[in-house]
Amino acid sequence: MDRILIRGGRRLSGRVPISGAKNAALTLMPCAILTDEPLTLRNLPRLADVDGFGHLLNQLGASTAVEGARAGEFGRVMTVRAGRIASTEAPYDIVRKMRASILVLGPILAREGRARVSLPGGCAIGNRPIDLHLKALEAIGAELEFTAGYVEARAPSGGRLPGGRFAFPVVSVGATENALMAAATARGTTLLENAAQEPEIVDLCRCLVAMGARIDGIGTGRLEVAGVDRLHGATYAVMPDRIEAGSYACAAVVTGGDLMLAGADPADMGATIAGLRQLGATVEEGPEGLRVAMEGRPRPIELSTAPYPGFATDMQAQFMAALALADGASVLTETIFENRYMHVPELARMGADVRVSGRTAVVRGVGELTGAPVMATDLRASMSLVLAGLAARGETQVARVYHLDRGYERLEEKLGAVGADIERVSDG
Ligand code: EPZ
């Protein structure tokens, strides 16, 4: 198993190219199921989860052709063609490894009038039920049954979904995505209220519209989808990854560095940028992307995660690593997931002073962190350990880096190019 070794204390400076967004890619890829024509996705990040989704699409009968990026370039182009759906089932063996697989449920049901998808089960950061996915699909006309750990969904008499209206009691990114994809080819109109407004949802809507869908209210919490008879193929570029960009912004903060996050879109990063400025970073928005520079210790701040446009839960752990070095005490509140502080005991091994009580973490800044062997537990937690390692005196060894590979494309290369002393070692 691979580990990442970081010898910290170096100031980072230079240009970091931002890849396409993982969380957009994972909802754009299943759109290919909605048409028998090719969907070409540009700027697709090279990530384990994207590869996993490609395998799932192959399993359903779709072909996936990848054009390799030129040497030194990031991302790639993938053309997915679901000319014929060979299977309407997403098996447990794939779904248990990648929760996002649930995002084929709506598209398969819309395309074939029936679908069988394994229930995803638990996750390190929380229970993560899918009840809202199912309720939204039922509201659009799906009939559901549960057998042996699977949900079996059917459209009335195996035909097209009629459409309907659903008000989400809680904002859910995934459930909004599933409902949108299912509604695009429904016989009637679908109204989704209190829908998620994340930039990845906007990216999904734009891709569906490029395929011929009719959606009103894009970017708001009220989405109206007028179902169309069929969708056609398209070529679409995945949006830049705002969470990857925010993570590297924190790398500039913890090393007192100066980084140009090339290709980042500041328009998608309002709350993150506000947080960076609050803790004392200089943030410049420009045509090339986002420049983030830091001098001195971060200032302590108070932050609470929330659905977009609030502060992203996917940035909480990275900010905690920065605030572990702040000149005072900060308060973080995690409102989205009930178990998203797995990084705290690992940061404590490096000398951080964090007290968690329920959903709230009090982070008392320390003057210095010290390198240590630490264990990654989930994607964003592992990035917070890398950030702490970049700042720490001595060597940090991050184990279980497969968590990182799920969401960060060629991390060591990107950090090494701006001055980090970082390498990946394999224990065979
Ligand atoms: C997406 O997960 C992202 N994943 C997550 O990013 C992100 O943390 C999350 O949205 C919130 O922004 C992808 O896009 C692949 P939700 P998702 O449905 O769709 C509850 C990362 O690090 N809920 O918005 O699963 C749920 O338990 C990952 O890249 C229900 O109760 O998140 C949670 O508390 C981690 N019932 C809240 O809603 C449901 O049916 C928000 O979850 C669905 C969700």
> What is the average pLDDT score of the chain?
96
Q: Are strands 189-193 and 373-375 parallel, antiparallel or unpaired?
A: unpaired
Q: Whose CA is nearest to atom 44 of ligand 1?
A: 172
Q: Which atom of ligand 1 is nearest to the CA of 196?
A: 24
Contact indicator for 101, 94 with CB cutoff of 8 Å: yes
Active site residue 123: yes
Q: Report whether the peptide linkage leading into residue 309 is cis, meaning its omega lies within 30 degrees of zero.
A: yes
The torsion angle over the Cα atoms of residues 177, 116, 25 and 252, rounded to 10 degrees, is: 80
313 ligand 1 Cβ < 6 A: yes
Per-residue pLDDT of 214-236, as tens digits, reads: 999 999 999 999 999 999 999 99
133 ligand 1 Cβ < 6 A: yes
Per-residue pLDDT of 362-392, as tens digits, reads: 999 999 999 999 999 999 999 999 999 999 9
Across residues 39-68, what is the average pLDDT? 95
Rg (CA), the chain: 21
- Residue 125, pLDDT score: 85
Task: Give the 3-state DSSP-derived string for the chain, with helices as H, strands as E and coil as C.
Answer: CEEEEEECCCCCEEEEECCECHHHHHHHHHHHHHCCCEEEEEEECCCHHHHHHHHHHHHHCCEEEEECCCCCCCCEEEEEECCCCCCCEECHHHHCCCHHHHHHHHHHHHHHCEEEEECCCCECCECCCCHHHHHHHHHCCCEEEEECCEEEEECHHHCCCCCCEEECCCCCHHHHHHHHHHHCCCCCEEEEECCCCCHHHHHHHHHHHHCCCEEECCCCCCEEEECCCCCCCEEEECCECHHHHHHHHHHHHHCCCEEEEECCCHHHCHHHHHHHHHCCCEEEEECCEEEEECCCCCCCCEEEECCCCCECHHHHHHHHHHHCCCCCEEEEECCCCCCCCCHHHHHHHCCCEEEEECCEEEEECCCCCECCEEECCCHHHHHHHHHHHHHCECEEEEECCHHHHCCCCCHHHHHHCCCCEEEEEECC
**Which pLDDT band holds residue 70 (cuts at 50, 70, 90)?**
low
Task: Output the CA–CA distances (angstroms, integers) from residue 164 to 180, 191, 275, in the order listed.
Answer: 11, 6, 39
Q: Whose CA is nearest to atom 8 of ligand 1?
A: 314
**Rounded Cα–Cα distance for residues 161 and 152 (Å):** 15
Contact indicator for 149, 143 with CB cutoff of 8 Å: no
Q: Which atom of ligand 1 is nearest to the CA of 313?
A: 8
b/e burial code for range 230-253 (CB count within 10 A of at least 16 → b): ebebbebbbbbbbbbbbbbbbbbb
**Which pLDDT band holds residue 127 (cuts at 50, 70, 90)?**
confident
Per-residue pLDDT of 234-279, as tens digits, reads: 999 999 999 999 999 999 999 999 999 999 999 999 999 999 999 9
337 ligand 1 Cβ < 6 A: yes
Q: Whose CA is nearest to atom 22 of ligand 1?
A: 314
Q: Which residues pair with 377 in a beta bridge?
A: none
Q: How many Å lie between the centroid of ligand 1 and the Cα of residue 99?
A: 10
Percent of the chain with pLDDT over 70: 98
Contact indicator for 191, 184 with CB cutoff of 8 Å: no
In this predicted structure, the answer to whether residue 427 has a pLDDT above a threshold of 80 is no
100 ligand 1 Cβ < 6 A: yes
In this predicted structure, the answer to whether residue 69 has a pLDDT above a threshold of 70 is no
Contact indicator for 52, 102 with CB cutoff of 8 Å: no
Q: Which atom of ligand 1 is nearest to the CA of 307?
A: 12
Q: How many Å lie between the centroid of ligand 1 and the Cα of residue 351?
A: 31
44 ligand 1 Cβ < 6 A: no
Q: Whose CA is nearest to atom 10 of ligand 1?
A: 173
- The contacts of residue 290 (CB under 8 Å, 6+ apart) are 245, 249, 260, 261, 264, 266, 269, 273, 283, 284
Q: Which atom of ligand 1 is nearest to the CA of 308?
A: 12
Centre a 10 Å sphere on the Cβ of residue 358 and count the other Cβ atoms it contains.
Answer: 9
Per-residue pLDDT of 145-195, as tens digits, reads: 999 999 999 999 778 999 999 999 999 999 999 999 999 999 999 999 999
